[in-house]
Structure 1
Amino acid sequence: MTSNFEYFKILKPVLVTGGMILNLMRGKVTNQPKESDLPPELVKESSTAHTEIDDFVQDIALEILHSSLPDIGINAEEVTDRVKWFKQDKTGLCFHLDPLDGTLAYTKNREDFAIGAALSDKLKFIASGIYFPAVDRLFYAEKGKGVLVINSLGEKISFTRPSSPEKKYAQKRCDEYVPILEKLAFTKLDSMSAHHSMISILEGKAAIQMYHMASPHDFGIPQLILEEAGGICTDLEGKPIKYDPDFNRVPYFLAFFDTKIKDLFFKEIERSKTL
């Protein structure tokens, strides 16, 4: 089942081990805000959310990774000592890690938190996995090889993508575009995690994700999974997302269930400019 996936044996232990630790401490830790790299006017509680478990899980994940790929670039979300093990050149093979996506959801004992890990080569994502420990579901993809959905034991979970999505959206720092979606009868998705909202689009539980000043930890990791399932990710001009060598935030990251939804969104954007 997984033999055609080249990097599965590397990423799965990182995701499952980290996820098990997260599950044990869910709802037992408190938010300890950290400094945000966003401009002051954009900083909110969710952009500074952090717990001691973020750092702990990251260090465990990097320990596992280092045993498999010691000579690799690293783009990990938290600043911990083990990050120093890895070379800083990210233009070759690079490992990406978000040890806890949806930190506020995690502290509130919700189920929509995740751990995500990915590999990129020459600034292009080639393998990616997201694990939701609370429900024991792991989504994995490699470029050109489709999407695998399994549990922590490796048992395949059957999944069929619907032909059309629910009229739900998720957004952060894109308030100016919400009225456009509301005119089309879209309503907000109940989600406190970027990874969860992206997978919701994959599953057809949402149709659109809009994010301003988007971190590759939040969206680069799930991007490949969504695209391998038939989803579309673009910038605000409808063009493919481009990352710089340091994988800094991108101005806009948009995700769509399919081309039809993407075309509908940009058509309404253009129409709104003429009103």
Structure 2
Amino acid sequence: MSEQVIGGKSFTAVAINCAAKAGEWIKTKLGNHTSLSLKYSAQDLVTEVDKGAEAMIRNLVMTHFPHHSFLGEEGVQPGPEASDRALQSVRDAEYLWIVDPLDGTTNFVHSFPFFSVSIALAHRGEVIVGVVYDPIRDELFVAEKGKGAYVRGRRMNVSQEEALRDSLIATGFPADQTFALPLNMKGLQALVPQVRNVRSGGSAALHLAYVAAGRLSGFWEIGLNAWDIAAGSLLIEESGGRVTDVKGSPYDLGVRHVAASNGRIHDEFLNALQQAESNS
């Protein structure tokens, strides 16, 4: 997919502009949001900042590309079934923007400075542009299909670890306490003794960007959505890493249980996760 421009407007430039503008606005609201409500569970939060950032991104995208499709987290009802339905309705669109306007809302609410804006563009189901922006550190992670991935304008490469025992791995704690969380905890219990250490920063998109940048050896989480993973998946692939589901199937927009790594540890990583599941 080499045609990245329509009518003189670069897809990547628009994605970067949207992420930067939304991120800067989100930063001004840190410690200053006024509404907080629950979505799927007591751990699944939304504020007026999430909604405002998504509206800002949607309006900017539609100004440039009015005929493109748009899938944003805040436009979808809470829960995994609603997420699946929303994705199925648009996943084969010619051009689909996939947006998490504020990935790490719980962190944002607590003024814990680890959250991001995630914007991806898929062409007939294949991610061709991925942007993750951390407004606190002013770090912009950007990838174009076939053109590499960059942070602060520098080319990114995944880390060099060859074995789990030398690896720093990240995960999250899913809001779905009936299915996803227990499964994730089994993986956590199995992996902690096998790796150098585990981190949980609270933004899946930023964790994926950190795998791409070589700051993490791998990341997994059960029960994510397309808007959590799409941009980060391209960042990692364009940095030389590997993204699959936890069973090892190649990444596509429908993957919810994701495993991402530098590629070198991937098989050992998947084996540990699958053993944890089968031992349950």
**TM over 0.5, shorter chain:** yes
Whole-angstrom CA distance in 2 between matches of 1:269 and 1:9: 38
Q: Structure 2: which 5+ runs fail to align?
A: 77-88, 174-180
Range 176-185 or range 220-229, more displaced: 176-185
Structure 1 residue corresponding to 2:230, chosen from 212, 217, 220 = 220
Q: Secondary structure at the match of 2:201?
A: coil
Number of the residue aligned with 1:100 = 102
Q: Provide the aligned C-alpha RMSD in A.
A: 2.6
Identity of aligned residues (%): 20
Q: Secondary structure at the match of 2:257?
A: strand
Specify whether residues 203 and 89 from structure 1 end up closer, same or farther in structure 2 by C-alpha distance, changes over 3 A only: closer
* Paired residues of 1:75 and 1:90 also in contact (CA < 8 A): no
> Alpha-carbon deviation of 1:44?
4.7
Whole-angstrom CA distance in 1 between matches of 2:133 and 2:230: 15
Range 10-19 or range 167-176, more displaced: 167-176
Whole-angstrom CA distance in 1 between matches of 2:21 and 2:199: 29
Whole-angstrom CA distance in 2 between matches of 1:23 and 1:176: 35
Structure 1 residue corresponding to 2:141, chosen from 131, 136, 139 = 139
Structure 1 residue corresponding to 2:54, chosen from 50, 54, 58 = 58
Specify whether residues 108 and 29 from structure 1 end up closer, same or farther in structure 2 by C-alpha distance, changes over 3 A only: same
* Paired residues of 2:26 and 2:49 also in contact (CA < 8 A): yes
Q: Secondary structure at the match of 1:33?
A: strand
Whole-angstrom CA distance in 2 between matches of 1:169 and 1:182: 10
Whole-angstrom CA distance in 2 between matches of 1:104 and 1:234: 26
Q: Secondary structure at the match of 1:27?
A: coil
Structure 2 residue corresponding to 1:197, chosen from 199, 202, 207 = 207
> Alpha-carbon deviation of 1:271?
6.1
Specify whether residues 268 and 101 from structure 1 end up closer, same or farther in structure 2 by C-alpha distance, changes over 3 A only: closer
> Alpha-carbon deviation of 1:226?
1.2
Range 163-172 or range 7-16, more displaced: 163-172
After superposition, residues 1-275 of structure 1 pair within 5 angstroms as: 6-29=10-33, 32-36=36-40, 43-45=41-43, 48-79=44-75, 89-91=90-92, 92-150=94-152, 156-157=153-154, 161-164=158-161, 166-172=167-173, 173=181, 174-244=184-254, 250-258=255-263, 260-269=264-273
Letter in 2 for 1:11: A
* Paired residues of 2:225 and 2:256 also in contact (CA < 8 A): no
* Paired residues of 1:105 and 1:112 also in contact (CA < 8 A): yes
Whole-angstrom CA distance in 1 between matches of 2:269 and 2:233: 19
* Paired residues of 2:172 and 2:202 also in contact (CA < 8 A): no
For these two proteins, the number of residue pairs brought into alignment is: 247
Specify whether residues 185 and 236 from structure 1 end up closer, same or farther in structure 2 by C-alpha distance, changes over 3 A only: closer
> Alpha-carbon deviation of 1:196?
1.8
Whole-angstrom CA distance in 2 between matches of 1:161 and 1:124: 21
> Alpha-carbon deviation of 1:161?
4.7
Q: Secondary structure at the match of 1:50?
A: strand
Whole-angstrom CA distance in 1 between matches of 2:191 and 2:30: 34
* Paired residues of 2:143 and 2:235 also in contact (CA < 8 A): yes
Specify whether residues 192 and 228 from structure 1 end up closer, same or farther in structure 2 by C-alpha distance, changes over 3 A only: same
* Paired residues of 1:73 and 1:90 also in contact (CA < 8 A): no
TM-score (norm 1): 0.80
